């Protein structure tokens, strides 16, 4: 009788252990599946294939100034992924870019807010000049925002043999805010405004009229302007989600800078 009871007890105990092990495996699989749907949570997004990324909430959230990518167009989605990878820390080794962002972006963002400009435009100086003072293009564009002399003067900057306000971060950002606001009155789309900032409003207007298309992502533009908003979104993502893009240093300071709470003595 005792042996039968022991055998029954052992059988019941074995069944309980098997059921618990099965339940644990199911829970683990569910958790793993959930994590795989959130690439940012694991910091491995850039190792995933586009087919595994395009349907995630993260990818659907990608936007510039609240204007989202037109999802479902594989060419657009692949282009976005290409630039996200290109601007990742593993490709750029972007310690300097992150440090400059810590120093300058809160000041730039504060000025843009005063003029009613979406804060995503604060990433233009990172794309245009890397926030390096003294940067000048072969065409004569210069400063943090890479203004041409004529545009700089038109929006209140002094540019002459003695003074060049394009290299003053606050003054040039005020001019940029005024210019961006004027462009929005013309194009009524922030992605088109960003494109016009790069190519010029006249060139963009001609492209829109010729193609009968006013969606930036579907316009056929020159290579630089056609990739411009993708680059802005990518820089925004690596600065605001540094861990997901391979950056490990001073992430808490980056987060503070993005929310405007960073102070100069934080370092």
Token representation of residue 69: 């990518």
Calculate the CA 136 to chain-centre distance: 24
| Backbone phi and psi for residue 36, each to the nearest 5 degrees, phi listed first | -65, -20
72-76, 114-118, 119-123 — which is least confidently predicted?
72-76
Q: Which residues contact 5 (CB under 8 A, 6 or more apart)?
A: none
Domain spans, the chain:
1-36, 49-266
The total of other beta-carbon atoms located within 10 Å of residue 49's CB is 8
pLDDT of 4 over the 60 cut:
no
pLDDT confidence of residue 74: 85
Question: What would the DSSP string read from start to end of 28-54?
Answer: HHHHHHHHHT-HHHHT-GGGS-HHHHT
CATH class as words, domain 49-266: mainly alpha
pLDDT 10s digits, 87-106: 776 665 656 676 777 778 99
The CA-atom distances, in angstroms, between 127 and each of 144, 151, 212 are 10, 19, 28
pLDDT confidence of residue 58: 80
pLDDT of 51 over the 90 cut:
no
pLDDT of 256 over the 70 cut:
no
pLDDT 10s digits, 183-234: 999 999 999 999 999 999 999 999 999 999 999 999 999 999 999 999 999 9
């Amino acid at each position: 009788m005792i042996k039968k009871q022991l055998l029954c007890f052992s059988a019941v105990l074995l069944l309980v252990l098997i059921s618990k092990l099965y339940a644990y495996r199911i829970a683990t699989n569910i958790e793993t599946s959930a994590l795989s749907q959130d690439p940012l949570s694991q910091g491995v997004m850039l190792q995933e294939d586009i087919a595994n990324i395009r349907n995630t909430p993260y990818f659907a959230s990608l936007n510039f100034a609240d204007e989202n990518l037109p999802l479902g167009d594989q060419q657009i989605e692949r282009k976005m992924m290409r630039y996200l990878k290109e601007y990742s820390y593993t490709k750029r080794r972007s310690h300097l870019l992150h440090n400059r962002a810590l120093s300058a972006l809160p000041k730039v963002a504060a000025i843009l807010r005063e003029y009613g400009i979406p804060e995503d435009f604060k990433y233009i100086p990172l794309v245009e000049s890397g926030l390096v003072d003294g940067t000048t293009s072969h065409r004569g564009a210069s400063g943090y925002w890479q203004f041409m002399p004529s545009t700089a003067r038109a929006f209140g900057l002094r540019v002459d043999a003695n003074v060049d306000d394009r290299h003053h971060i606050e003054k040039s950002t005020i001019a940029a805010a005024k210019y961006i606001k004027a462009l929005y009155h013309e194009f009524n789309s922030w992605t088109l405004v960003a494109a016009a900032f790069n190519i010029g409003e006249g060139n963009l207007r001609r492209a829109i009229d010729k193609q009968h298309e006013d969606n930036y992502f579907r316009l056929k533009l020159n290579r630089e302007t056609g990739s411009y908003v993708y680059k802005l979104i990518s820089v925004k993502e690596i600065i605001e989600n540094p861990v997901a893009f391979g950056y490990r240093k001073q992430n808490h300071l980056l987060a503070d800078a993005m929310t405007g709470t960073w102070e100069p003595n934080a370092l």
